Every structure is written in C-alpha cells, then in structure tokens.
C-alpha cells in the first residue's frame, strides 16, 4: 500500500515537473519573441521574430502590455522606445495565420487576439510618458497599431507603410478608423481602400510618422534617447528634430503621390464605395483606371465596411473607434471573406480569392448594420 502511494506521488511529481518545464519553455519562447529591458532611463521593447518579420502574436501582446503599465508608474523609467530586429521590418502585421486557424475552429484566439491587441493600442494612445516607435522597415497592420498612436514615430528610408487589409477580407483595424480619416484630405480613405504602400520620407509627409531619420543614425539616436533624464515631450522632440536635420537622404525627392493629391481628394470624395468607383471609371486618367482596377480585386464586403468605419471614425475618439473595430473584427470572424482572403494571399498564394458576395451591390445594408451593432456583454471594454 505504502509503495503504491509512493509511486503515485512520484508519478504526480514527475508530471508536475514536466508541466513546469513545458510552462517555462512556453514562457521563454514568448519572452524571447519580445525583449523587454531597462536601458539607462528608457524602457526598451524589442520585437524579436525576424524570420516572421516581427509579426505580433498574442504571447507578445501579453508580455508588452503589463510591462508598459509597469513602466508608466515606475519613477525610474522616463521614456519608452519600441523597435524591431532583423533589418527588414519593424512589425509586418499581426499573426493572421493563427487567428484564421482559431476562427475556423471556433477557438477563443479569434476573440482574445483582437481584444487584447486593441487594449494594447489604447494603452499606447493614452500613454503618460514619451513613447518613441522606431519604424525602421516594414510597418503594416499590427505594426501600425504598435506605433501610430504613440507620441513619436520615426521613419527611415527602409520604412514601408501600408494598411493592406481589404485584400484579405479584413479592414484597416488597430485604430485605423481613428488616424486614417484625420490625414490630409481623402488620403486616409485612399490608403485604406487601396492598400497603397508608402515608403521612407513619404510616411512622414502624410503624417503617419512624426520624424524621418536615416537608418544609419538610428542606433545613435536610440542611445541619446536612453540617456535623457526626466525628459519632457519637448526634450524628446528636440533630440528627434536634431537627428532629422542631419538626415538629408531623399530630401529632394517629391512625394510619390504629389501629382495625384488633388485627384485623390476629388475622386474619393463620395457618399459610397460605388460612387468612388464610378468617379474613377469616368475620370479616364491612367491613375484613376489603375485605382479602379485595384479596388475591383478587393473584398467588396471589406471595402464597404472600411468606408463606413472611416466615415464614423472621423467623429469618434480612439476608445470609441477601437470598440467599433472590435465589433467589426468579430463580424469578419463570422463571415467568409477573411478566411478566403488569407487562403488566397498567404496560404495558397494563388492571389485569386473568391469573394462572397462577389460584388458591392450584394453587400446588404442589413449585413452592414449587423456588423457595426453591439455585441452586448462581449463588447470591448477599455
């Protein structure tokens, strides 16, 4: 009897040890995907998934969020800096593949990922201390959410910014409904619907970045920021401005959309996506024809959701926008186009999604209203 009890206890201890080791391994993996450290007077967040272009997953969110809250109250942390490793990307987006798999299986990640990501976006948008995002490389989707709501966003010649969600049956989330309609003229709507990519200085020129600094100066810039003691927002701005003044690369190159700004404001000034397409088709210019062709390939449902998202978001605060976007995220999880878009663009890569419905006319007002309607006790709470 005693031996039986002893064996059982040893077995339980063995199982417990294995569980602890597994838990530690999971924790180590998550913590190695994002590095959190104090350097000088700065809290430094390093996105550390270079092979995945630093794509943001739920484990990373769950490490970043509590640390941000802790640093916000820590008297010895004066500033927060966020950056990516690998030289190619700051953060190329969210871990969409995992969300897709969870959504298909009815798993909780399809709710948890968006909820916790948006809570993190709001924390960045309301942060009490200077927050500097070094967006050196690809910055899309979830990477935009980690940077654009902070006080300072530093682009380099390697920065590639886009919100390409309409191509995968989603919408420009992570607070896109807040910052995009606040860009000059109809630029935000144009970027949201077409997924147009902006590079280098142009990211600052439209207002997504606050500063432009050459990539080879970023390490020195980061050190100067880390050495600041109890800096005001003005102090941080002064350092960034000084580095910007030293960065003359591409200064003479005109804004990539310069000759089309007036056309964008005119053609995208409409009461519906259908009217925008009519404007583009009637215009006859090569630029307008190209945009019409691009929009014809996007999810009709996504285009309509995005148009209304930005219309409403123009008069909402960030918290209200994120609550709205959480409702939209769950509508997309219930629908067809998100899974089909991910399949066509990211999995099979045939670039031939079969959208349902396949045209704008079949996306009903009833569906739209349902997508924006309250989720009751499942609504996002900030």
Catalytic positions, written as ranges: 94, 142, 165, 173
Q: How far from the centroid of its chain's Cα atoms is residue 258's Cα? A: 25
Give dist(CA 244, CA 135) in Å, integer. Answer: 14
Q: Are 170 and 313 in contact (CB under 8 A)?
A: no
Give dist(CA 302, CA 371) in Å, integer. Answer: 11
Integer-rounded Cα radius of gyration of the chain: 23
CA geometry: angle 93, 98, 100, nearest 5 deg: 95
How far is the CA of 27 from the CAs of 63, 115, 271, 275, in angstroms? 10, 21, 49, 51
Give dist(CA 11, CA 15) in Å, integer. Answer: 6
Question: Tokens 């609550």 map to which residue?
Answer: 323
CA geometry: angle 121, 50, 227, nearest 5 deg: 65
Q: Are 334 and 95 in contact (CB under 8 A)?
A: no
Q: Which helix (H) or strand (E) holds 341?
A: helix 337-342
């Amino acid at each position: 009897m005693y031996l039986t009890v002893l064996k059982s206890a040893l077995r339980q201890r063995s199982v417990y040890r294995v569980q602890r080791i597994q838990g530690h391994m999971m924790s180590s993996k998550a913590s190695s995907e994002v590095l959190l450290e104090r350097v000088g007077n700065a809290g430094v967040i390093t996105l550390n998934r270079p092979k995945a272009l630093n794509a943001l997953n739920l484990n990373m969110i769950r490490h970043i969020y509590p640390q941000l809250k802790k640093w916000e109250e820590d008297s010895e942390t004066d500033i927060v800096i966020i950056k990516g490793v690998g030289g190619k990307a700051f953060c190329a987006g969210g871990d969409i593949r995992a969300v897709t798999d969870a959504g298909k299986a009815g798993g909780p990640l399809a709710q948890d990922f968006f909820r916790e990501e948006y809570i993190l976006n709001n924390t960045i948008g309301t942060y009490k201390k200077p927050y500097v995002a070094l967006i050196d490389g690809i910055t899309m989707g979830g990477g935009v959410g980690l940077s654009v709501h902070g006080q300072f966003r530093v682009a380099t010649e390697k920065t590639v910014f886009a919100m390409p969600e309409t191509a995968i049956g989603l919408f420009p989330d992570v607070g896109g409904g807040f910052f995009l309609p606040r860009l000059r003229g109809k630029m935000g709507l144009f970027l949201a619907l077409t997924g147009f990519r902006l590079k280098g200085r142009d990211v600052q020129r439209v207002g997504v970045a606050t500063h432009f600094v050459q990539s080879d100066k970023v390490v020195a810039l980061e050190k100067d920021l880390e050495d600041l003691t109890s800096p005001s927002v003005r102090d941080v701005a002064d350092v960034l401005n000084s580095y910007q003044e030293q960065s003359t690369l591409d200064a003479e190159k005109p804004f990539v959309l310069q000759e089309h700004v007036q056309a964008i404001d005119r053609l995208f000034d409409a009461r519906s996506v259908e009217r925008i397409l009519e404007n583009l088709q009637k215009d006859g210019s090569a630029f307008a024809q190209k945009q019409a062709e691009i929009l014809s390939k996007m999810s009709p449902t996504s285009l309509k959701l995005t148009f209304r998202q930005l219309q409403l978001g123009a008069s909402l605060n960030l918290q209200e926008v994120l609550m709205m976007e959480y409702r939209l995220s769950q509508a997309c999880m219930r629908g067809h186009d998100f899974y089909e878009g991910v399949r066509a663009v990211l999995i099979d890569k045939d670039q031939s999604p079969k959208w349902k419905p396949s045209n704008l006319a079949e996306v009903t007002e009833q569906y739209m209203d349902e997508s924006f309607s309250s989720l009751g006790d499942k609504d996002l709470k900030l």
